[in-house]
Structures are given as structure tokens and as C-alpha cells.
Amino acid sequence: MKRHLVKSIAAAVVATATMAATPAKAEEVYFIRGFMNVFSAGMDQMAAQLRARGVNAKSYSNGAWSGLASSIIKRAKEGKVSYPIVIAGHSVGGQEAPQFANALAKAGIPVALVIGVDPGFAPPPTFNSGSPRVINYWIKGSARGNPYRASGGFSGSITNINIRDFGSTVDHVGIDKDPKVQNRIIANVMAVVGG
């Protein structure tokens, strides 16, 4: 009986070690919602669409970026981060995306792509490192949306795309839910994660 118990415990330890060593999915895609978590349902929709395609994508409340960055940095030190990393943020979440990407870059963690969705209410922080590719879907001339900008140390590309140029007529609250915008964002993410 005692010998059987020892064998069972040993088998459980080996199984646990094997599960812990199993690599995570091949990407981490973070969608950050806007103010009050109410007006950014499109971020949840896009994360769900990507998950349906087998992509490891999740949406989070604005304000969560710092905790997420800390977790990624900790996991990177343990060799438990999956790449590529993609960050997308709407409104206030779009304001936080540069901070998120810059924090990871400062820790030596590459971010493959950052996508802004009408970063709102105030100009977002500049990218001083962060990602080799930044795309921002915004509404030029609106009271809320803002372009992304770079500052010293940034060597990537920033493309600010006015959604009016491809026929979208939605406002700041509707931009993340517009199929024309969503289709482009999904295509941007899939091009990076392979699919």
C-alpha cells in the first residue's frame, strides 16, 4: 500500500512537471478596453474572433496594462512568455498602449505590433521604443481621437490611418465595433501571428 502511494505521488509529480514544461500558445494578444469598460465591446468581439481562429487573445479593462506588463516581465525571466506579443487599445486603452509597449521594451521584451483604435481624450504618450510596427485607426478631426507619435529612441514605423479614408462613418464610441475597422485589425494581427 505504502509503495503504491509513493508511486502515485511520483507519477503526479512527473505529470505536473510535464504540464508546467508544456509551451504556451505561440502568441499573446492583448486588447485593452476604453473608459469605464462599457464602450469598447468591439475589443471583446475581436478577441473572441481571434480565439475562434486559434489565437491566444484576451481583452482587459483599461488600467490593467501595468499589471499585465509586470506579469509578462516576470514570466519572461522564467522563460514562460509566448511570442509574438501584440497590444491593441481603444480610447483610454489606446492611450495606455504606448506605455504598455514601452515598459516591455525597456525590460527587453519585444512587442511585434501595437494597434491603436482612436486613442482618446488626450494625446497618448509617445513611443520611445516599444514596437517595430505601430498602426493607429483614428478619426482625424474628431474631438476625442489622437494620432500616435514617436520620440527619441523609437526606430519603428507609425502609421496613423484616418478611417474616413476607407469609408467608415462611425464615431469614437462605434469605431471598435465597425466591421470595416475590425476586419483590418484582425488582418493586421493575423499577419503577425501567422494565419
Measured between alpha carbons, how far is residue 192 from residues 73, 85, 169, 187, 188 in Å?
A: 21, 9, 27, 9, 7
pLDDT score, position 9:
36
pLDDT score, position 12:
37
More confident residue, 182 or 23: 182
- The values of phi and psi at residue 134, to 5°, are -130, 130
Cell triple for 61: 479593462
pLDDT score, position 26:
72
List, for residues 44-69, the tens digit of each pLDDT value: 999 999 999 999 999 999 999 999 99
List, for residues 126-170, the tens digit of each pLDDT value: 999 889 999 999 999 887 889 999 998 899 999 999 999 999 999
CATH code that applies to domain 25-193: 3.40.50.1820
List, for residues 71-103, the tens digit of each pLDDT value: 999 999 999 999 999 999 999 999 999 999 999
pTM score > 0.75 for this model? Answer: yes
